[in-house]
Amino acid sequence: MIHKATIDAVFETARLEEVIGDFVQLKKAGSNFKGLSPFSDEKSPSFMVSPVKQIWKDFSSGKGGNVVAFLMEHEHFTYPEAIKYLAKKYNIEFEETERTDEQKQQADERESMYLVSEFANTFYQNSLLKTEQGKAIGLTYFKERGFTEETIKRFELGYSPDVWDAFTSEAIKKGYLLKYLEKTGLTIVKEEKQFDRFKGRVMFPIQSMSGRVLGFGGRILTNDKKAAKYLNSPESDIYHKSKVLYGIYHAKQTIAKEDNCYLVEGYTDVIQFNQTGVTNVVSSSGTALTSDQIRLISRLTKNITVLFDSDAAGMRASIRGIDLILEQGMNVKVCSFPDGEDPDSFAKQNTHEELTQYLEENVQDFISFKASLLQQESKNDPIKRAELVRDMVTSISKIPDVIKREIYVKECSRIMDISEDVLFDALAQIRNVGEKDQRKQQKQSKKSFEVVKTEAEKQPKVNRQYILERHLIKALLMYGVQEEEFEDLIMKENGEGELILEPEIHKVKVFEKIYLDLQDDEIEFTDQIFKDIYRILIEELNQVNEFKIESFINKIPPEIAYEITEIMMTEDRYELHRWVDMEIHVKQKKDTIADYVNNIILSLRGFLIDQKINELSQEVKAQNLENNMNILEDIRDYQTLKKLLYRKLNRVV
């Protein structure tokens, strides 16, 4: 268990916008921040962060909450892990009681795999730095590559001993279960035998954006032709190589700050660039670049600069990646290195100033790069030249933005000395081929689409009571402990026996006003989640003099916190332009708080009176004449009450 003092200190210190800013590129939007959703693939930002309320809302996925909820959703942390991460980030002393062996065994499988991976990372680092074999073989290799001890420790590099079961035996000895060693791929199990997957390799831990160890890459140091030079962890519940970028943990802040990400191929490219002082660099870890990896970068920046080896294989791989980057709506530039050089060797031989200057002077737009590269291959062959032009237009066709497409067509026309009209025709043909199947599918399902269209044209059905209950909860959240002067209407009979409403002014807190009025009218919330929020809120407001949403949301159940976030971050979501037509009349917050609250309560009363009148009207149709007279009298009383309420609301019945 984590001590309460630690939790309180974390929530008091942590700034939501700073924490989320490590994972998502945020831009100021009024008093809030906005960015692209980290939970879905979107082109327009719908992810909102409120520094004042210390809550966030992702409109594309519907997720929301406080700073801990974000880490639990984004990084799949448990609650204690999220608190621990924040404590480390803000240098807060982390106090917790020791977990028992039984509690360790009860941890879910994912958590167990994370724990095994962390243990393995520590084991490999100790093997590298504290054993004779590790120093003689692993450490020597890293130093020959030019890595300093500081760099080795920063990237937590390690060494797996050249012994069949050195790691496996140590892990089992420390109480880690064999099934998790196998699930993470660290141990290979065959019948009665088990042995280390990365035996005799130097180790590169692969970390998530938050620094959690997901898997490993291991490089063999012998000349064994039967063994792969590099070996990665297999796919598992925590490691999906297509969704991970090596170095993203170390690069994320600089990527966001510089608004650019350098993309390289290997582990050592990333490490050498970092050591030279260029830290906004990541690697696809030797695998083909994927859409998920590009989207991971897009959370931090829209700009990618691809750095590639000067050999033909490196160039071809870069070309394939460029089209994929363009398809994701990203801006892409490229930079090649001199013959015989790669990012690792070039960074090793140059200072920070020389490296950055080279990158600035040699970076190219993808069109210019592709033209220069493919022109070398086509030379004076007109057929190859035509293929080159089509290849360039194919890349342009991947760009979702129509304006960017047109600009690149003009640039291509200039470089290749071919008319824009021809290029636009070619572009249209390529895009039409891609859209042909979609049109065919639409034609086949025409009837289904017609049904959808008919449904969409229907007037949306609005639950009036739900909206009014939602406004009551919002009023409690925003103004609950504020004292206001309320004008209440006391129902009395005048001298002629008629019902009238006489105004009476009294000063109470908003939550007291709402609670007493609902109690007097015996009104209960119909929505269960609102009912739960109302109960918890009234208890809280009755005990505190000052109410802060950011503090309150940190100590309530997640499902309640989620709904409160939804209400506070989507204040205008239900402000339909035809509310008045739908008999939903709620004054906005620009009016006085007392008016705002009074109008919600009176509107809810009016709605419930309407419901009662409708129920009684239905009874009239089903009852005999004698009973009808009594029911009709009740209806008249309710209609009189409704007129009085509407008079107060300045409305016409």
Burial of 489 from C-beta contacts in 10 A (0-12 / 13-18 / 19+):
middle
- Model pLDDT, residue 232: 93
What lies within 8 Å, CB to CB, of 121 at 6+ separation is 156, 158, 205, 213, 216
CATH architecture of the domain formed by 104-238 = Alpha-Beta Complex (3.90)
Q: Chain-centre distance of CA 402, in angstroms?
A: 27
Angle, CA of 440, 441 and 442, to the nearest 5°: 90
Token pair 């598992």 is found at 236
How much is the pLDDT for 239? Answer: 93
If you average pLDDT over residues 191-218, what whole number do you get? 93
Place of tokens 């960015």: 35
Q: Which residue has the higher pLDDT, 311 or 19?
A: 19
- Give the pLDDT score at 123: 98
Of 62-76, 155-169, 380-394, 460-474, highest mean pLDDT: 155-169
For residue 575, pLDDT beyond 50: no
If you average pLDDT over each of 523-537, 583-597, 625-639, which comes out highest? 523-537
pLDDT bin (cut points 50, 70, 90) of residue 506 is confident
Instruction: Select the highest-mean-pLDDT range: 39-53, 99-113, 174-188, 398-412.
Output: 174-188
- pLDDT score of 300: 86
Q: Is the pLDDT of residue 551 over 50?
A: yes
* The pLDDT of residue 6 is above 90: no
The reported pLDDT for the residue numbered 458 is 46
Q: How confident is the model at residue 271 (pLDDT cuts 50, 70, 90)?
A: very high
Residue range 626-651: mean pLDDT, rounded: 61
Identify the top-confidence range among 64-73, 188-197, 218-227, 540-549: 188-197
pLDDT the model gives residue 461: 54
pLDDT value at position 642?
Answer: 63
Quick one: pLDDT band at residue 269, thresholds 50, 70, 90? very high
Residue 500: is its pLDDT beyond 70? no
Distances (CA, A) of 567 to 148, 453, 473, 529: 52, 30, 8, 12
pLDDT in tens, 87-142: 988 998 877 666 666 655 555 788 889 999 999 999 999 999 999 999 999 999 99
Give the span between the Cα atoms of 135 and 159, in whole angstroms.
9
Nearest to 465 by CA among 528, 518, 538, 526: 526
Q: For 210-224, 356-370, 425-439, 462-476, which range has the lowest pLDDT when averaged over its residues?
A: 425-439
User: Looking at residue 340, what is its pLDDT?
Assistant: 85
The answer to whether the CB of 563 falls within 8 A of the CB of 539 is no
The token pair at 370 is 């592709």
For the CA atoms of 99, 96, 76, 17, what is the dihedral angle to 10 degrees?
Answer: 180
Higher pLDDT, 480 or 148: 148
456 against 406, higher pLDDT: 406
Round the average pLDDT of the chain to a whole number and report it: 82
The strand ranges marked E within 210-302 are 213-220, 230-232, 261-264, 281-283
Hey, which bits of 256-366 come out as E strands? 261-264, 281-283, 303-308, 331-336, 364-365
Mean pLDDT comparison of 22-36, 373-387, 615-629, highest-scoring range? 22-36
Which of 222-236, 326-340, 535-549, 558-572 has the least mean pLDDT?
A: 558-572
Quick: pLDDT tens for 402-434.
888 899 899 888 888 889 899 999 888 888 875
Which residues lie closer than 8 Å to 418 by C-beta, 6 or more apart?
A: 389, 412
Q: Return the H-helix or E-strand segment holding 434.
A: helix 420-444
Average pLDDT over residues 565-593: 55
Per CATH, which fold does 248-435 belong to? Dna Topoisomerase Vi A Subunit; Chain: A, domain 2 (3.40.1360)
Domains 4-89 and 248-435 share a fold: no
Where do the structural domains in the chain lie, given as residue ranges? 4-89, 104-238, 248-435, 464-648
CATH code of the domain occupying 4-89: 3.90.580.10
**Lowest-pLDDT range of 2-11, 72-81, 436-445:** 436-445
Beta bridge partners of 492: 500
What's the pLDDT at 280? Answer: 96
Burial class (CB in 10 A: 0-12, 13-18, 19+), 131: middle
Is the confidence at residue 579, as pLDDT, over 70? Answer: no
Nearest to 75 by CA among 204, 216, 238, 184: 238
Lowest mean pLDDT among 297-311, 535-549, 563-577, 611-625: 563-577
Quick one: pLDDT at residue 581?
Answer: 44
